[in-house]
């Protein structure tokens, strides 16, 4: 089994808030490209989409509001339930965050 442990997908809502390549919201396209490359499983994460790959003015990747973290993790867990053989996820959290931040990842 070939596993890519560092993949990115973003919810369509994030693409409306931040400039990012359309491929970041194309779940089916990503899965098809990975399958064609022989990748069996991809681990995904990152709640800010483009902010994880390039600086976005006004966005601090390490200071995500609790509601945004929860919404991202709920979206990501839905993807994993939809594609259990192709996707796994990691929870995004700032280990130096305050209690409110850490509550957002529970």
Give the global pTM: 0.81
pLDDT at residue 2 tops 90? yes
Residue 49 has pLDDT above 60, yes or no: no
**In terms of pLDDT, which residue wins out, 43 or 23?**
43
Q: What is the mean pLDDT of the chain?
A: 84
Pairing of strands 87-89, 3-8: unpaired
Express each pLDDT in 37-48 by its tens digit. Answer: 999 999 998 766
The total of structural domains in the chain comes to 1
Residues 28 and 56: their CA atoms lie apart, in Å, by: 26
pLDDT in tens, 64-100: 777 888 888 899 999 999 999 999 998 877 777 777 7
Considering only residues 23 and 81, tell me which one the structure prediction assigns the higher pLDDT.
Answer: 81
Give the count of beta carbons closer than 10 Å to the beta carbon of residue 89: 19
Report phi then psi at 70, rounded to 5. Answer: -60, -45
Give me Rg for the CA atoms of the chain: 14
Range of the domain at 90: 3-103
Provide mean pLDDT across the span 25-29. Answer: 94
């Amino acid at each position: 089994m070939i596993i890519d442990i560092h993949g990115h997908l973003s919810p369509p809502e994030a693409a409306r808030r931040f400039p990012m390549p359309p491929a970041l919201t194309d779940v089916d396209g990503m899965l098809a490209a990975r399958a064609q490359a022989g990748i069996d499983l991809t681990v995904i994460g990152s709640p800010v989409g483009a902010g994880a790959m390039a600086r976005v003015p006004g966005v601090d990747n390490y200071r995500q509001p609790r509601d945004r973290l929860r919404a991202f993790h709920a979206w990501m867990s839905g993807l994993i339930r939809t594609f259990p053989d192709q996707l796994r996820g990691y929870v995004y959290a700032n280990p130096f965050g305050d209690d409110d931040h850490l509550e957002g990842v529970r």
